[in-house]
Every structure is written in structure tokens, then in C-alpha cells.
Amino acid sequence: MSRINPKMRYIVAIGAASALALGMAGCSGGGGSSSGSKTVVFATWGSADELKKFKEFDADFMKRHPDITVKLQPVASYDDYHSKLLAQLASNTAPDVFYVGDDKIGQFVDSGRLMDMTSLMDSSASKSKASDFFPGLWGAALKDNKYYAAPNDANPDVMWFDTAALKAAGITENPADLAAQGKWTTSTYLQMNDKLKAAGLTGSIFWNYWSTHYSWISSQGGTAYDKSGKFVGNTDPTTQSSVDQLGKYFQDGKFVVADTLPQGAGADSIFVSHKTGFYIEGRYGIATAQQSGTPQDYDIAPWPTPDGKAAPTGVATSYLAMNSATKSKDASFTFWTEWLSAEGQTFRLSGSGNAVPSIKGADKVVLEGYPAHAQTFLDMRDIGFEDYATEARVPNLSTDISDLYLKLYQGKSTGKDTLDQSAALIKSKTGQ
């Protein structure tokens, strides 16, 4: 699944209440064993399609390991999931293996309840070595050179574009072709948004979360955090000018915040009805584009840059962690490492998979034929970055900063104020 694509905050997992009740009833504070059989309790959130795929993986895993029983524990919503899991960890009733969102992983690591996976990943039993993962995806799961979880898969925020909408606005250039030629510049992109707005269409739709503002800053040559993890965006002139530019396009109605769109006229609806030129989201956009009935009209491009050269941008993930108090350490690690392995990710992401592998050796699942420039997903993942660890370690800090950017987008704040307020908030929460 890629952590949490922003839509996941509004999706209810299958069997919501009943699944939650059954899952909690079956949780006993770590897997036990009976008559030589070991049980691994696995917790996650997810959409109906994702949970179906997870169950298929679990069934296949148990066929290969008849001495291990996997009990899937789905939880109804993303936000409910983490608060319940933290309570379970504190009371020693948590599952053995579980998903953690990228905006939550830092506080889970700091709780001291996650297994240090460093030596296990390096062992002969491991099918997912630390060096097999793409380095920009670790985020706050890596602390003091120790790995406390690993990325399940990834979702770089790409620029989905609709050639039909572009054509309706008199735009004949193809963003993906321009990117391949090194000509996909910020100036060209903004001019396209100007033309889309003039034609009565929406220019671009973004979700309001860390990847949007930090991808824009990075792609425009700015610096939000320095290498030590200190926020410096409010002192960097390039960052300040890029945030001003970002805010202006939202304030002029050329960029739109997906989170604030009304029910019945949401981002997906606008995109599939050819009313916007660009929709920024991950590989899960495949399903959205296919709903249009004319999927051939859609393709993807990276974020534009001032000089047309590719730059690092945000890659959303979720993480798989192990309970440090599990009673079935060996069985739990077997499940953990196979889930994350190239074979495991290929199994989970093949067909209608909605994410990109986080590990080397599974890229073929992305290049299955759609969209035309699917390689872009991989290229962006290879150089992309996760949510900054400084933010991910503090509960709700990323969300609070996104709220500051929403005020900017709505014309209630300036770019300078947004960056200064971000700096002050980060300092108050982290001391940095």
C-alpha cells in the first residue's frame, strides 16, 4: 500500500467494525504456540482490495510454512489504528508484526517497543537486507544507525496529467516527453496551469501533506532541513521564493487543495471527467485513471524544475515493524522478512498493485504496461525522500505544519509567515 496515500485517511477498511472487533478479540499480546504450531498476529489498515491481497499472501505464506499460523488483524481507519496500537504496545497486548504510517513511525521508534531489526536483517535467515532497500525511504525508522522497521513499498508523488484536458486548453506539448528531453521546466509547467485556468479548467490538484510542500521546495532548489535535521527553510532565500510561488498559484485558483473539495465533486471526480490538467498522487492513480473510461488519455511526469533536470521529491511509505515483546520471534521474523522481500513485494504489487517496490529486484511489477511512462515511478523513487525524521518523530507535527500551509493556500498567510511559523513550531516541539 505505500503507507498512507492521502486518500487512505478517508477510506474504511473492509468489515470495518466487525473486523476490528474480531481482530481485537483475537489479540493476546504476541503470538503463542500450540502443539508445535506458532502463531503470528499481523495488524494493518487497508482498503478492501489491499486486504484481499494481504489475505492471499498470508494463505500462500502458510502453505510454505505449515508450522506457522498468521492471523490478520485489520483495523477500521488509519487514525484509529495508531492510537489503538500504541495502547496495545503499552499494555503488552500488541500484535507481533504490524504496519506503521510514515508520519507516525518516529514516535513508535521512540516508544522503545519496536524490535531492533538491524542484526536480524543481516542474518542468514533474512530475505530483506538493509542494503537492498532504497536509502531515501528509511525516514524515521532509522535511528542511531539502527533499523526499527522497514518500508513495505513506496509511492512517489508523480504528476499525473490528462492529455485531453491539456488539449482542451490549447496545450500540445506532452509533459512526459518534455521530461525525457530535459525540458520539463517550472516555467513551462506554470504556463500550462495558466492556460488551463483561462480555459475554465483546474490547473493542478494537490493533497495537503508533507510531500506537497517539501517536494515543491526541493524541486525548485530550496532546502527545508539541513543534513543535521535542523529546519532552515525560513532562512533560505530559494525556499522562501518557492513557497511564495506555490502559495500564489493556490491563491489564484490555478492549484487546488484536494482535501477541501466538496463531496461529490472531489479530486478523483474532477480528474476522470477531464476537468483538470494535473493530479498529483502516487501509483494508486492507475485505478483513478482507469475509471475515466479513456485511460489512454493519462500519463505521468516528474515534478518540474527550473532547469528541467530531475530533482528529489517526496516518496510516501508505510513501514513493517516487529513487537519487541513478541513470543514468536523466529516465526514473526520469517513473516516479516518474506513480506518485505523482492518475492513478497512482487506478490503483493503484481496485477492491480497500487504502489512501487521499496526493495531491489521487484521493479518488473511497475513496468507491466501502464501508464506509458511507468519508469518515472522508479526513477523518482530512486532519488526521492521520505518525510523528514525531525517531523516524523513528533506526534502530529507534520499535520500541524500542513495546516500552516493550508492557510497560505487560502490566502490567510504569506510565504514568509508560513516558513517562520513552521520554524517556531518545530523549535517548540523539538528544541531545534
Arithmetic mean of pLDDT, 269-284: 97
pLDDT band at 19 (very low <50, low <70, confident <90, very high): very low
Domain check: are 139 and 33 in the same one? yes
Distance (Å, whole) CA 264 – CA 341:
39
Q: Check whether residue 124 and residue 16 sit in a common domain.
A: yes
5-19, 155-169, 244-258: lowest mean pLDDT where?
A: 5-19
Helical ranges in 36-185 per DSSP H: 48-64, 78-90, 105-110, 118-121, 163-168, 175-180
Determine which of 236-240, 295-299, 353-357 has the lowest per-residue pLDDT on average. Answer: 353-357
Same domain, 149 and 163: no
Cα–Cα distance list, 418 to 247, 282, 403 (Å): 10, 26, 10
Residue 14 has pLDDT above 60, yes or no: no
Are 284 and 177 part of one and the same domain?
yes
pLDDT at 199 over 60: yes
Answer yes or no: do 115 and 167 share one domain.
no
Q: What is the count of structural domains for the chain?
A: 2
- Asked if residue 67 is part of any domain, the answer here is yes
Same domain, 51 and 107: yes
Do both 278 and 232 map to the same domain? Answer: yes
Strand partners, 278: 161, 204
> Are residues 80 and 214 located together in one domain of the fold?
no
Give the domain range for residue 419: 158-313+394-430
Nearest Cα residue to 337 out of 20, 28, 4, 64:
64
In a domain, 110, yes or no: yes
Is 1 among the domain residues? no
**137 domain residue, yes or no:** yes
| Spatial separation of the C-alpha atoms in residues 311 and 226, rounded to whole Å | 16
Cα distances from 105 to residues 9, 235, 240, 337, in angstroms, run: 16, 28, 29, 18
User: Do residues 250 and 171 share a domain?
Assistant: yes
Asked if residue 136 belongs to a domain, the reply is yes
pLDDT band with cut points at 50, 70 and 90 for residue 368: confident
Residue 389 maps to a domain: no
**Better-scored residue on pLDDT, 50 or 95:** 95
Q: Round to whole Å and give the CA distance between 138 and 342.
A: 17
Q: Is 388 domain-assigned? A: no
pLDDT given for residue 6 in this prediction: 54
- Which pLDDT tens digit goes with each residue over 104-142? 999 999 999 999 999 999 999 999 999 999 999 999 999
CA angle 87, 328, 134 (to 5 degrees): 75
Clarify whether residues 323 and 307 are in a common domain: no
Q: What is the pTM of this model?
A: 0.91
**Which amino acid is located at 25 in the chain?**
A
Sign (positive/negative) of CA torsion 50, 142, 396, 356? negative
Pairing of strands 37-44, 142-143: unpaired
211-236: b or e for each residue (b if 16 or more CB lie within 10 Å)?
bbbbbbbbbbbbebbeeeeebebbeb
Calculate the alpha carbon distances from 374 to 54, 79, 162, 308, 344 in Å.
Answer: 24, 31, 15, 19, 21
> What's the rounded Cα separation, in Å, for the pair 295 and 162?
9
Residue 5 predicted with pLDDT over 60:
no
291 and 321 together in one domain: no
| Within-domain flag for 421 | yes
CATH code of residue 419: 3.40.190.10
Entry field: residues in the chain? 432
Q: Is the pLDDT of residue 386 over 90?
A: yes
Beta strand pairing call for 202-206 and 276-281: parallel
Residue 281 shares a structural domain with residue 202: yes
What whole-number distance in Å separates Cα of residue 289 and Cα of residue 267? 12
| 218-247 pLDDT tens trace | 999 999 999 999 999 999 999 999 999 999
